[in-house]
Amino acid sequence: MGNLTVIVLAAGGGTRMKSKTMKVLHPIAGRSMIGHVLRAVEAVDPRQIVAVVGHQREQVGPHINALVPDAVLAVQEEQLGTGHAVRVAIDAAGTTSGTVIVAAGDTPMLEGESLRAFAEEHEAAQRAVSILSGIVANPFGYGRIVRNEEGDVEAIVEEKDATREQREIKEINSGILAFDAEFLLEALPQLTNDNANGEFYLTDAVRIARDAGLTVGAHVLEDFTQTEGANDRVQLAELGKEMNRRIVTRWMTEGVTVMDPATTWIEADVVPARDVTILPGTQLLGATVVHEDAVVGPDTTLKDCEVGSGARVVRTHGELAVVGDRANVGPFAYLRPGTQLGIEGKIGTFVETKNAEIGDGAKVPHLSYVGDAEIGEGTNIGAGTIFANYDGVNKHRTHIGRFARTGSNNTFIAPVQVGDGAGTAGGTTVRRNVPAGAMAVSSGPQRNIEGWAEAKRPGSRQAEAAAAARTAREQQVSTEGPGVGSDAGRG
């Protein structure tokens, strides 16, 4: 395949999407539709990729070049049909030789292996034109492959131009064509727009080749779903569901346990290892990597995360976070970008973390917010702890050392440091550094105001309960003597 040029058509408006986003940029399984097509195209190692852009090219062009930096962008100012689009592409590419494949930018199911097999057959047969075709039960809307009695391809007839007999044909054109470049350069100027749509059809090149006595063939793709496009959001959702089914099935055959494939979504760039278990209601998105023996789910969404070997992530939402080997997360945890949990660490129930490094064996078990923080190895953070990282203008970091023990309901006012082996009492607000091994206490001694409820809440149930308890206590003291129910007589 050393002399192969691939033209990707991406100039259409996609008005049925009813979106400010260009059709080919709509995502499916974590990539844009055209991103999937370009991945398949790159798999055949072409010498040159030319993308035809038109509508919203300020969106589409930079996206294509971000994915394939050396792709040539050809601008089709007016959308006058596929033949016109290819002519624009050839002009932008310069002198072209060898084989030219034309593909559509809205066929995200297309696989590189299928495209390679198509190109190899075309070159081996030395055809002027080859058509990637399929046999479908309902051919409505597709161009029909018309063959002669010998089975050779005579023409491709579009739906609007087809006769009643031709509309009964089940073999259809996928829109993916392969050409001998020399023939294509001769055929493009001969295309006309004498048809129902007034467009220059690239498929008319089949007739031109046949009239010249050249060979035209069709390569039937059994898995024709690979060539299906999405013209509206309903079709996009249908393709997304099918693509997800295929992705999930592939990973199960590779040794991943998926308890409920119907409620599990795995995007195209996710990599789960063998012996990973994925429980129902889980979404693995972006570039997420899950290492062996990890368990993810149920009801978990991870995007661009890494989950270590043997880790457990339960009912958690995470993005751009790293979970270490044999660590535990959740349920109901929120891992925001920059979270790094060490080996055998724990982020527990109703804990939110952001830009936080939590060391090996360290634990934030429940009801806490940890933002812009470093927590050392083996440290335990008490329940209800807040890392107050924002002063209204700037973010600041909190550093907590190794094997520290912090009490419940603490607030760390950043920037602050707590040394190795230090502790903090319950209810403490830490505003100053705590030396290694020290205990920080910020609350004063407890003071009880006797009779407060009866004085401040007269007539309330609270006051009634307090009065009844006081009366019972007084009766008990009068009966049994002093020291009962009070602090009297304690040494």
Contact 408, 382 (CB under 8 A): yes
Identify whether the C-beta of residue 53 lies closer than 8 Å to the C-beta of residue 60.
yes
Q: Is the pLDDT of residue 151 over 90?
A: no
pLDDT of residue 446: 82
Per residue in 90-136, pLDDT (tens digit) is 999 986 789 999 999 999 999 999 999 999 999 999 999 999 999 98
Res 194 pLDDT > 90: no
The lowest-confidence range among 137-141, 207-211, 424-428, 487-491 is 487-491
Kindly tell me the sign of the dihedral angle through the C-alpha atoms of 361, 362, 367, 370. Answer: negative
Kindly indicate the confidence band of residue 38, based on its pLDDT and cuts at 50, 70 and 90.
very high
- Does 1 have pLDDT greater than 70? no
- Work out whether strand 31-32 and strand 27-28 pair parallel, antiparallel, or are unpaired: antiparallel
Token pair for 204? 């008319």
Could you say which DSSP state residue 336 is in?
-
Do residues 37 and 110 make contact, with C-beta atoms less than 8 angstroms apart? yes
Map residue 80 onto helix, strand or coil. Answer: coil
Structural element, H or E, at residue 74: strand 72-75
For 95-127, b where at least 16 C-beta lie within 10 A, e where not — what string?
ebebbbbbbbbbbbbbbeebbbebbebbbeeeb
pLDDT of residue 142: 87
Q: pLDDT tens across 428-471, in order?
A: 999 999 999 999 999 888 889 999 999 999 999 999 999 999 99
Catalytic annotation, residues: 366
Mean pLDDT of 161-180: 93
The reported pLDDT for the residue numbered 443 is 82
- Backbone angles phi and psi of 39, in degrees to 5: -65, -40
**What pLDDT, on the 0 to 100 scale, is given for residue 161?**
87
Q: What is the pLDDT of residue 285?
A: 98
Region 348-364 average pLDDT? 98
Q: What is the per-residue pLDDT for 481? A: 67
Q: Give per-residue pLDDT as tens, 45-78.
A: 999 999 999 999 999 999 999 999 999 999 999 9
- By percentage, how much of the chain surpasses pLDDT 70? 97
Phi, psi of 274 (to 5 degrees): -60, 145
Residue 13 has pLDDT above 90, yes or no: no
Q: Do domains 4-227 and 249-440 have the same CATH topology?
A: no
Reply yes or no on whether the pLDDT at 491 is more than 80.
Answer: no
At 12 the pLDDT is: 86
> Residues 385-400: pLDDT tens digits?
999 999 999 999 999 9
Length of the chain: 491
pLDDT of residue 14: 84
Contact present, 254 and 269 (Cβ < 8 Å) = no
Look at residue 486 and tell me whether its pLDDT is greater than 80.
Answer: no
Residue 141's pLDDT band (cuts 50, 70, 90): confident
Average pLDDT over all residues of the chain: 94
Q: What is the pLDDT of residue 150?
A: 82
Q: Is the pLDDT of residue 488 over 60?
A: no
User: What pLDDT, on the 0 to 100 scale, is given for residue 85?
Assistant: 96
- pLDDT confidence band for 490 (50 / 70 / 90): very low
Q: Where are the domains of the chain?
A: 4-227, 249-440, 451-477
CA–CA separation, 21 and 25 (whole Å): 7
Half-sphere exposure of 32 (CA within 13 A, CB side): 18
* Nearest CA-CA partner of 10 in 23, 27, 28, 21: 23
Closest to 415 (Cα-Cα) out of 367, 372, 380: 372
249-440, CATH topology level: UDP N-Acetylglucosamine Acyltransferase; domain 1 (2.160.10)
Domain 4-227, CATH: 3.90.550.10
